[in-house]
Amino acid sequence: MKSLVSVIMGSHKDYMTLKRQKLDEQNTNQRFLLEDGKVSQIFKGVSVYITGFTDPPSAVLKEIVLRNGGSVQMFFSKTHVTHIVASNLPDFKVKLWKNDMIVTPLWIVDCDAAQSRLSEAKYILYRTSENIKDMMTKNEVNIVKSVSKNIPETTSKDFVGEFYSNSRLHHLSTSVSELRHEVSRLQSQYHPSYMPTNRKQTASVIVHVDIDCFFVSISLCSRPHLRGKPVCVTHAKPNDKLDSYAEISSCSYEARKFGVQNGMFLGNALKLCPNIITVPYEFESYHKASNELYRILVEKTPYVEVVSCDEAFMDIVELVDISDETLIQEFVQDLRSQIHSSIGCTVSAGIGPNKLVARMATRQGKPNGQYVCYSEESVQDYIKSQPLQNLPGIGRATCHKLELQNFKLCGDLLLKSKAELSDLLGPKTGETVYYYCRGIDLRDLILKHERKSISVEINYGIRVETIKELETFLLNLCKELDNRMKAEKVSGSLVTLKLKERSENAAVEPIKYMGHGICDNISKSVNIANATNDGSVIHSKVMSLVNSMTLIPRDIRGIGVQISKLKDSSLDQKNFANTNKKISKGSKDVPICTSFQCSVPEFLGHKNTGDVKNIIKNWCESPEPYQVDVDKVDEYLSQLIKYQNINFVQELLKFMRKILKERGVPEWNAVFNSTLQNVQRQIHVILNGILNLEDL
Ligand code: DCP
Ligand code: MG
Ligand code: MG
């Protein structure tokens, strides 16, 4: 065999061939070393490439594969690798390997445990049409469609509401924004003179509180007989089996003793803890408990930062004598007891000079305890001993890079300069890690929040056949957005439509029932001249985006609408250019609604049809159409349609057309046509009808 050195001047291909031969030899040697020459053959012909973080780690997987007659490749190659093993992959790799067999590490573990080569079907990480076809021909897979679940049709008007009422991620994200509102309300209730501003952490005593296994603890309040048992909260049914992909949102500390963790699939948890008891979500109760938690905190001080539904920071510097650690301990003990007796859940706390240390100290206190790490000396000692993965916000990839260089604990990095860490991890992360390892946190306590955007996005259960169905779905989604904007008292002027479209080679039905599978992300935005919080106006803008795209409706797997450039809606100006001054005061008060039941919408503060027509007339006679005005009229017509006041819609359109026909200005005709199209589209969607153009 040629040595690697002898081919170094040759082609890259030669080099790689030799390198692979060498690795194969190493594989074989290791195999025989491991089993005294007796090798199980269950992975014969299997050549795996293990990538990213895996559970169990790659060294363990490698050992299993080799022990069972397979081989492990250090580099990916289509010709040499039969199976890619990964727990998770970034989007670009999913696309890159869309036609390859990607299995979860569990396949290797389970084959080893069963001492037989199990079908990969249950262990495929992402399904593409290719690998599904492949498995279908081998008759190995039950197509996921056969799973029956009670999901309403995408276009049904209940879909959006039902999705959001069952989606825990939705509850988690909206609960944070609702809690921020609630906290600012409580701040003004309990501390009327307090003006919210973000607060530097210098000279602070930060307490971090976090409820122990929050969702489970709430469930146990009404099920005391389950206390002390392994319990988890999940959407699954009690008779779910080992292949359940239902995610565990919270598990009791008794379940954690078996290795069960939050975020694990129920199937995997059942393997670790067959007696685990599942209980359903109780969103309303979480909501009440979170509000009460924050009420207790804000009653004591306005310096409270909302972190999540069960977790907050507070600065107690003005509440206790901070030179006496015993007093700090007592204060936190009392606080925890008060929370426990009020909401029935135990809570843990960490105390430190900043958010970083306080949060890490909570870990130490869990469950149902507290840990103070406040003096300079104790902070240094404590942080030094912490594994890097305990640093909040420092991801796995960063830890992995550091581990490769043999850095495992925060203390291991103390000799590294900021510049060295920045070179290794990039400037932002490098600097954060540099400070965090010294127990320094330069962030403020966030007490004032400014929302940049509001989104509604659903990437589950989306299956539409036609643009009309997409339009109906978007209308429901925009109504949800309308509700949220009104709840937040904001309006916005930039609308973004976000779609997930099935990638070219992705399976029509992905592994997760009604999930989105492998998709391309598409996003397109449009400005609205006048900030709005009216869902129907947003809908018409979104539809203009849809109409400007080439879409295959049945390939859409995720739909979202975002509104940004937000402003306080109570400051919305009623600025209809150049018009208000010409409203005739004494016009006849004609009731707007002539046929259907309706409430009367306002147009720039006017409900009288005569006044409305005067404003519109004045506008139609101005030299050029202003976009602000077009939007206002479109918005008003949308509201009339929503109130089913079609007669007045028709009357206004006739009225406008008459004036514009006489004027014959092309720009104005274009504006009228686009308004007319908007109206037709909305009438079609909302009332399933169409305006009779003859009558216009
Ligand atoms: N949660 C969730 N999904 C996530 C994270 C959290 O559903 N990815 C929910 C369930 C948790 C609650 O939020 O009960 C609070 O999250 P924590 O991270 O605080 O977890 P727990 O309170 O369950 O456990 P711990 O005792 O570790 O805080
Ligand atoms: Mg918690
Ligand atoms: Mg928490």
What confidence tens digit (pLDDT) does each residue in 163-219 have?
A: 776 677 667 766 788 898 889 889 988 998 888 788 887 778 999 999 999 999 999
Q: Which of these CATH numbers, 1.10.150.20, 3.90.1530.10, 1.25.40.10, 3.40.50.1820, describes 379-444?
A: 1.10.150.20
Q: Which ligand does the CA of 167 lie closest to? A: 1
Better-scored residue on pLDDT, 654 or 121? 654
Q: What is the dihedral of CA 551, 553, 559, 560, to 10 degrees?
A: 40
3 state SS of 413: helix
Q: What is the mean pLDDT of residues 379-404?
A: 91
Residue 647's contacts (CB-CB under 8 Å, 6 or more residues apart) are: 593, 594, 595
* pLDDT value, residue 413: 95
The response to whether residue 262 sits with its C-beta less than 6 Å from ligand 1 reads yes
Centre of ligand 3 to C-alpha 365, Å, is 13
Please identify, in words, the CATH class of the domain defined by 34-131. Answer: alpha beta
* pLDDT value, residue 16: 57
Residue 568's contacts (CB-CB under 8 Å, 6 or more residues apart) are: 489, 490
* pLDDT value, residue 199: 85
* pLDDT value, residue 22: 65
* pLDDT value, residue 18: 62
Q: Of 153-157, 352-356, 570-574, which has the strongest mean pLDDT?
A: 352-356
- Give the sign of the dihedral formed by CA 288, CA 291, CA 297, CA 301: negative
The response to whether residue 247 sits with its C-beta less than 6 Å from ligand 1 reads no
* pLDDT value, residue 276: 93
Centre of ligand 1 to C-alpha 356, Å, is 19
518 neighbors 502 (Cβ within 8 angstroms): yes
The response to whether residue 175 sits with its C-beta less than 6 Å from ligand 1 reads no
**pTM of the complete model beyond 0.75:** no
Does 564 have pLDDT greater than 90?
Answer: yes
128 neighbors 84 (Cβ within 8 angstroms): no
Centre of ligand 1 to C-alpha 250, Å, is 5
Does 400 have pLDDT greater than 90?
Answer: no
Q: Give the fold, CATH level 3, of 609-687.
A: Methane Monooxygenase Hydroxylase; Chain G, domain 1 (1.20.58)
Instruction: Name the token pair of 543.
Output: 């539809």
pLDDT digits (tens, 9 = 90+) for 463-515: 888 898 999 999 999 999 998 898 888 899 999 999 999 988 787 877 666 77
Task: Using most ligand atoms within 8 A of CB, pick from 175, 212, 253, 262 the residue to mutate for ligand 1.
Answer: 262
Centre of ligand 1 to C-alpha 258, Å, is 18
d(CA 118, CA 408): 36
Q: Which ligand does the CA of 250 lie closest to? A: 1
Task: Using most ligand atoms within 8 A of CB, pick from 214, 248, 360 the residue to mutate for ligand 1.
Answer: 214
- pLDDT band at residue 574 using 50, 70 and 90 as cut-offs: very low
Does 639 have pLDDT greater than 80?
Answer: yes
E strands along 514-632, which residues?
Answer: 519-532, 556-568
Same fold, 379-444 and 609-687: no
d(CA 101, CA 98): 8
* pLDDT value, residue 228: 96
The response to whether residue 173 sits with its C-beta less than 6 Å from ligand 1 reads no
In the chain, what are the domain boundaries?
Answer: 34-131, 215-281, 379-444, 453-586, 609-687
Q: Which ligand does the CA of 256 lie closest to? A: 1
Catalytic positions, written as ranges: 311
Please state the atom number of ligand 1 nearest to the C-alpha of residue 366: 26
* pLDDT value, residue 661: 86
Please state the atom number of ligand 1 nearest to the C-alpha of residue 168: 7
Centre of ligand 1 to C-alpha 207, Å, is 19
Q: Which ligand does the CA of 253 lie closest to? A: 1
Please state the atom number of ligand 1 nearest to the C-alpha of residue 249: 7
The response to whether residue 171 sits with its C-beta less than 6 Å from ligand 1 reads no
Going by their DSSP bridges, the two strands 83-85 and 47-50 should be labelled as parallel
3 state SS of 528: strand
The response to whether residue 310 sits with its C-beta less than 6 Å from ligand 1 reads yes
Q: Which residues surround ligand 2, an ion (CB under 5 A)?
A: 210-211, 214, 310
Centre of ligand 1 to C-alpha 307, Å, is 12
The response to whether residue 218 sits with its C-beta less than 6 Å from ligand 1 reads no
* pLDDT value, residue 509: 79
The response to whether residue 285 sits with its C-beta less than 6 Å from ligand 1 reads no
- pLDDT band at residue 7 using 50, 70 and 90 as cut-offs: very low
Give every strand in the sheet of 490-502, ordered side by side. Answer: 453-458, 556-568, 490-502, 519-532
For 584: left if phi > 0, alpha if psi spans -120 to 50, otherwise beta; the answer is: beta
H/E run at residue 233: strand 231-233
Residue 689's contacts (CB-CB under 8 Å, 6 or more residues apart) are: 683
The percentage of residues in the chain with a pLDDT greater than 70, rounded to a whole number, is 82
Does 298 have pLDDT greater than 90?
Answer: yes
Residue 159's contacts (CB-CB under 8 Å, 6 or more residues apart) are: 152, 153, 461, 473, 476
Centre of ligand 3 to C-alpha 387, Å, is 20
The response to whether residue 249 sits with its C-beta less than 6 Å from ligand 1 reads yes
The response to whether residue 212 sits with its C-beta less than 6 Å from ligand 1 reads yes
* pLDDT value, residue 348: 98
The percentage of residues in the chain with a pLDDT greater than 90, rounded to a whole number, is 40
The response to whether residue 234 sits with its C-beta less than 6 Å from ligand 1 reads no
- pLDDT band at residue 34 using 50, 70 and 90 as cut-offs: very low
Q: What is the mean pLDDT of residues 368-393?
A: 94
pLDDT digits (tens, 9 = 90+) for 610-633: 888 888 888 888 887 777 788 888
* pLDDT value, residue 29: 55
d(CA 539, CA 252): 44
Q: Which residues surround ligand 3, an ion (CB under 5 A)?
A: 210, 310-311
* pLDDT value, residue 330: 96
Q: Which ligand does the CA of 214 lie closest to? A: 1
pLDDT digits (tens, 9 = 90+) for 86-106: 987 776 777 778 778 888 898
Q: What is the mean pLDDT of residues 644-654?
A: 85
pLDDT digits (tens, 9 = 90+) for 259-286: 999 988 888 899 999 999 999 999 889 9
d(CA 120, CA 134): 11
pLDDT digits (tens, 9 = 90+) for 38-63: 668 899 899 999 998 887 888 889 98
* pLDDT value, residue 262: 94
Please state the atom number of ligand 1 nearest to the C-alpha of residue 212: 26
- pLDDT band at residue 252 using 50, 70 and 90 as cut-offs: very high
Average pLDDT, the chain: 82
Centre of ligand 3 to C-alpha 383, Å, is 21
Q: What is the mean pLDDT of residues 332-347?
A: 97
Nearest-CA residue for atom 21 of ligand 1: 213
Centre of ligand 2 to C-alpha 211, Å, is 4
* pLDDT value, residue 36: 54
pLDDT digits (tens, 9 = 90+) for 658-679: 888 888 888 888 888 888 888 8
Domain formed by 215-281, architecture: 3-Layer(aba) Sandwich (3.40)
H/E run at residue 311: strand 311-315
The response to whether residue 210 sits with its C-beta less than 6 Å from ligand 1 reads yes
3 state SS of 10: coil
Nearest-CA residue for atom 20 of ligand 1: 213
* pLDDT value, residue 601: 78
Q: What is the DSSP string of 446-512?
A: -------EEEEEE-SS----SHHHHHHHHHHHHHHHHHHHHHHTEEEEEEEEEEEEE-TTB-SS-SS
d(CA 340, CA 223): 16
Nearest-CA residue for atom 6 of ligand 1: 249
For 426: left if phi > 0, alpha if psi spans -120 to 50, otherwise beta; the answer is: left
Q: Which of these CATH numbers, 3.30.1490.100, 3.40.50.10540, 3.40.50.150, 3.10.50.40, describes 453-586?
A: 3.30.1490.100
* pLDDT value, residue 421: 95
The response to whether residue 168 sits with its C-beta less than 6 Å from ligand 1 reads yes
d(CA 441, CA 354): 6
Give CA separation, 654 vs 171, 617, 680, 693, in Å. 46, 12, 14, 10
